[in-house]
Amino acid sequence: MDRLDPELVEPLEGLMQATGGGFDLGDLEATRAMVAGMIAGVIAEAPPTAGIAIEDLPVPSHERGVAVPVRLYRPAAAAGPLPVLLWMHPGGFVLGSIEMDELMARQLAAGLGIAVVSVGYRLAPEHPYPAPLDDCYGALEWLGAEAAGLGLDAGRIAVGGASAGGNLAAATCLCARDRGGPTPVLQLLVYPSLDDSNIEPASETVPENLFWSRANTRACWHAYLNGQEASADVPEYAAPIRAKSLGGLPNAFIGVGTADMFLDENIAYAERLAAAGAEVDLAVYPGAFHAFDSFAPAARVAQRFAADRNAALRRAFG
């Protein structure tokens, strides 16, 4: 752990102890239950966020006949139309729920005076690609059509997500470009998992993700892509690093740590976006591991990340 930010070492050790050495996807249902329990405990211990109205809504997936749960957070006293962040939670395509980022959504709504719509997309392996992406893109289509009636601004929609959610956010922006959907003002990509071929074993130059192993990443891509990972048959909407063109996409904020296995693909995606004409804010955090902001929010590096993320949203929303 000598390459880690010193303030992240103790939180990481606590996480490893709480998870018995890291998340194990060998028993997916047990891990889902453990994650849900951890999230419920964190939410129960958090102080209430005053002045935030929360509403659960069903919205149509892009896949016909499927309803997707979303949760809308907004300042209760704010006058509209409000800018809105459409958010996709992390979890390797196989874990997680709207509740995973409950506290972050509340804090963003309160601190920035914006609305946040968190998407409860379907999970693999029960629902492999394209089902999760259909749910996220369907939520964007719904926002574009229904924003005015909700007191939201359809012209100020940011699309964001973390890890696998960052993949879905990037892919949602690709879909919006190619299908003529609502045009986001920003893609907020937090250590996104973009490359299905980034599944080789860890080495001196390729970091292990500590609590989230590279074996887990392989298993998640396998579940999401129905066993087609790292093959010629993977669509660019499933692994956005494969996109032939990144032209015409929204400006981007990409945040990732130096101890994150997705660092190289995040840098490569940022460089390609910039070369294609997007304004890209690439923030690389020394000594930060995957999901450092969630597991060590009090660390100074996590606070820098939060400030950078919030500043990117403020700029995009004007």
Confirm whether 68 is domain-assigned. Answer: no
Burial class (CB in 10 A: 0-12, 13-18, 19+), 79: exposed
The confidence score (pLDDT) of residue 213 equals 81
Kindly give, in sequence order, each residue whose CB lies less than 8 Å from that of residue 175, ignoring residues fewer than 6 positions away.
Answer: 62, 133, 137, 140, 181, 237
Confirm whether 30 is domain-assigned. Answer: no
How many separate domains does the chain show?
1
pLDDT at 177 over 60: yes
> What's the mean pLDDT when you consider all of the chain?
94
The confidence score (pLDDT) of residue 23 equals 86
Helix count (H) and strand count (E) of the chain?
A: 9, 8
Catalytic residue among 260, 281, 293, 294: 260
Segments forming the whole domain that contains residue 249 = 6-18+82-317
Q: How many angstroms separate the CA atoms of 228 and 123, rounded?
A: 17
3-state secondary structure of 196: coil
Q: Which of 8-22, 68-82, 161-175 has the highest mean pLDDT?
A: 161-175
Percentage of the chain modeled with pLDDT above 90: 86
The confidence score (pLDDT) of residue 202 equals 60
3-state secondary structure of 43: helix
| pLDDT tens track for 116-171 | 999 999 999 999 999 999 999 999 999 999 999 999 999 999 999 999 999 999 99
Q: How far is CA 268 from CA 128, 246, 254, in A?
A: 26, 12, 11
Confirm whether 203 is domain-assigned. Answer: yes
The confidence score (pLDDT) of residue 206 equals 53
CB of 171 closer than 8 Å to CB of 133: yes
Q: Would residue 260 show up in a list of annotated catalytic residues for this protein?
A: yes
The confidence score (pLDDT) of residue 121 equals 98
The confidence score (pLDDT) of residue 168 equals 99
The confidence score (pLDDT) of residue 24 equals 84
Mean pLDDT of 242-269: 96
Alpha helices in 122-238 (DSSP H): 131-150, 164-179, 214-224
Confidence of residue 204 (pLDDT cuts 50, 70, 90): low
The confidence score (pLDDT) of residue 22 equals 82
The confidence score (pLDDT) of residue 237 equals 98
Taking alpha carbons only, the member of 152, 154, 158 closest to residue 82 is: 152
Mutual angle of helices 102-112 and 28-45, in 10-degree steps: 40
Q: Would residue 231 show up in a list of annotated catalytic residues for this protein?
A: no
Confidence of residue 203 (pLDDT cuts 50, 70, 90): low
Catalytic residue among 61, 97, 118, 163: 163
CATH number at residue 128: 3.40.50.1820
pLDDT at 20 over 90: no
Confirm whether 42 is domain-assigned. Answer: no
Residue 242: DSSP 8-state: G
